[in-house]
């Protein structure tokens, strides 16, 4: 009897925690902004998992998991009443990302595992949903998924054309149905854009697996970096997570780069597509590694903060600079730009913890 009273008391304390209410309200608001506010809402919606992860790290597992469950239930109730299953699935994936990242942070795992496990769980859940929906429609998952991608690409192209021209595309085939667009050898639409739509649809369908992992990994990384910024003052993150200036991808990952590059030169379309999708994901990983090198030397040389932000902005806006950063992250394996391996003691492996001056504590 006393144990039941203790359990009820603990549950009451969790439910009355102001951090719980604030996390649920903020996360749901960010999610709705993504659906209702163009452009700015998409940017803010990326941070939907952040309040939930931060609350978990700050207030503990009970409050954190309760916040994730409560926000998921609230969004599910709202959108199920409006018969919007896609929005429910999307928020559930955000909730899964928040839960997995929170548990990995609590277990003090390395950054690549925190992000890797979260991406793997989200992608696996998305694939499971795709299989269930395709079977309910009597189609195989590949055909159903391909049709969804084609429809989404066509809808995106139409939206961007409307934004650029200020009016919806006139004439021609229905742009929300790419299967109606003529092939490149057929009759072209008056504006000549039907073939473009077909080409872009085919390209994004080929790259959809890599782009899906790319987008999920990028979102997880953005929330991870946001968490580091918010938690820096409270000290609620372990040292190996709070400081990423000495982070490196696992050395063995270079073999995946070599294999993917080799697949691109083989005269097999399927292997070409696999290699290209893998390189899309690996490019983002080595981009993160390159940013770690840049951040390390900024800190080592005491570069002013405003110049750092300006440099990061240029890197984000200029694709050539982004490619340079990817190259820095890739070749750091051999050139050891931060002298990390030289400072490693034998048997410890690369990546010892260094202080802000690049020296071992």
Rounded to whole angstroms, the Cα distance separating 275 from 210 reads 10
Judge whether 163 lies within some domain. Answer: no
Regarding whether 139 and 70 lie in a shared domain, the answer is: yes
Same domain (yes/no): 361, 264:
yes
Torsion of CA 84, 89, 94, 98, to 10 degrees: 130
Q: Are residues 130 and 230 in the same domain?
A: yes
**231 plus 288 within the same structural domain:** no
Of all residues in the chain, what percent carry a pLDDT higher than 70?
78
Residue 15 domain-assigned? yes
Residue 198 in domain? no
Residue 279 binned pLDDT confidence (cut-offs 50, 70, 90): very high
Judged on CB neighbours under 10 Å (0-12, 13-18, 19+), 192 is: exposed
- 345 and 284 in one domain? yes
CATH code, domain with 220: 1.10.1760
3-class state of residue 183 by DSSP: coil
87 occurs within a structural domain: yes
CA distance 32 to 181: 33
Per-residue pLDDT, 334: 93
- Coarse DSSP helix, strand, coil percentages of the chain, rounded to the nearest 5 percent: 75, 0, 25
Any idea which residue has 């077909």 for tokens?
Answer: 198
Interval 137-194: pLDDT, tens? 888 888 888 888 878 777 776 766 666 665 555 444 444 444 444 443 344 433 455 6
- The answer to whether 286 and 326 are in contact (CB under 8 A) is yes
Domain of residue 30 covers 1-147+210-236
Predicted confidence at residue 348, as pLDDT, reads 44
Residues 62-67: contacts with CB under 8 Å, at least 24 apart:
62/10, 62/14, 63/14, 63/17, 63/19, 63/20, 64/102, 65/99, 65/102, 66/14, 66/15, 66/20, 67/19, 67/20, 67/23, 67/24, 67/27
Q: Is residue 197 assigned to a domain? A: no
Question: Does 159 reside within a domain?
Answer: no
- Alpha carbons 86 and 34: distance in angstroms, whole number: 14
Count the Cβ atoms, other than its own, within 10 Å of residue 146.
15
Domain end call among 220, 236, 252: 236
Q: Are residues 251 and 332 in the same domain?
A: yes
Q: How confident is the model at residue 72 (pLDDT cuts 50, 70, 90)?
A: very high
Same domain, 120 and 269: no
- Mean pLDDT score of the chain, rounded to an integer? 81
Quick one: 249 and 339 in the same domain?
yes
Residues 8 and 128 placed together within one structural domain of the fold:
yes
Domain shared by 361 and 313, yes or no: yes
In the chain, how many domains are there? 2
pLDDT at position 180, please?
42
Are 143 and 273 contained in the same domain? Answer: no
Is 204 a domain residue? no
Q: Enter the tokens of residue 328.
A: 């820095």
Asked whether residue 298 is domain-assigned, the answer is yes
Residues 85 and 214 both lie in one domain = yes
Q: What pLDDT was estimated at residue 169?
A: 53
pLDDT at 40: 77
Residue 311 predicted with pLDDT over 90 = yes
For range 264-280, the mean pLDDT = 93
Query: How far apart, in whole angstroms, are the C-alpha atoms of residue 121 and residue 127?
Result: 10
């Amino acid at each position: 009897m006393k144990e039941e009273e203790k359990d009820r008391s603990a549950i009451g304390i969790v439910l009355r925690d102001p951090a719980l209410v604030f996390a649920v309200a903020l996360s749901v608001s960010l999610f709705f902004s993504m659906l209702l506010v163009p452009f700015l809402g998409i940017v803010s919606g990326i941070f939907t998992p952040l309040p939930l992860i931060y609350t978990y790290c700050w207030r503990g597992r009970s409050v954190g998991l309760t916040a994730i469950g409560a926000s998921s239930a609230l969004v599910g109730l709202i959108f199920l009443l409006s018969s919007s299953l896609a929005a429910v699935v999307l928020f559930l994936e955000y909730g899964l990302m928040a839960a997995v990242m929170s548990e990995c942070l609590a277990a003090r795992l390395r950054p690549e595992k925190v992000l890797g496990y979260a991406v793997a769980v989200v992608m696996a859940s998305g694939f499971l949903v795709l299989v269930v929906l395709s079977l309910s429609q009597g189609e195989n998952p590949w055909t159903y998924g391909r049709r969804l991608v084609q429809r989404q690409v066509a809808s995106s192209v139409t939206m961007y054309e409307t934004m650029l021209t200020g009016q919806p595309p006139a004439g021609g085939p229905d742009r929300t149905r790419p299967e109606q667009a003529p092939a490149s050898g057929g009759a072209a639409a008056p504006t000549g854009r039907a073939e473009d739509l077909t080409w872009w649809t085919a390209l994004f369908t080929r790259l959809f697996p890599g782009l899906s992992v790319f987008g999920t990994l990028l979102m997880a990384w953005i929330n991870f970096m946001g968490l580091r910024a918010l938690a820096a003052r409270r000290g609620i993150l372990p040292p190996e997570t709070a400081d990423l200036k000495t982070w490196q991808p696992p050395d063995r990952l270079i073999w995946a780069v070599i294999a993917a590059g080799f697949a691109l030169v083989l005269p097999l379309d399927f292997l070409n597509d696999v290699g290209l999708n893998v390189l899309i994901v690996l490019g983002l990983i080595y981009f993160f590694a390159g940013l770690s090198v840049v951040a390390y030397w900024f800190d080592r040389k005491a570069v002013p903060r405003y110049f750092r932000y300006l440099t990061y902005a240029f890197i984000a806006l200029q694709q050539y600079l982004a490619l340079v950063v990817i190259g820095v992250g890739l070749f750091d394996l051999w050139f050891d730009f931060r002298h990390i391996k030289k400072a490693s003691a034998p048997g410890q492996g690369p990546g010892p913890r260094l202080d802000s001056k690049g020296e071992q504590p």
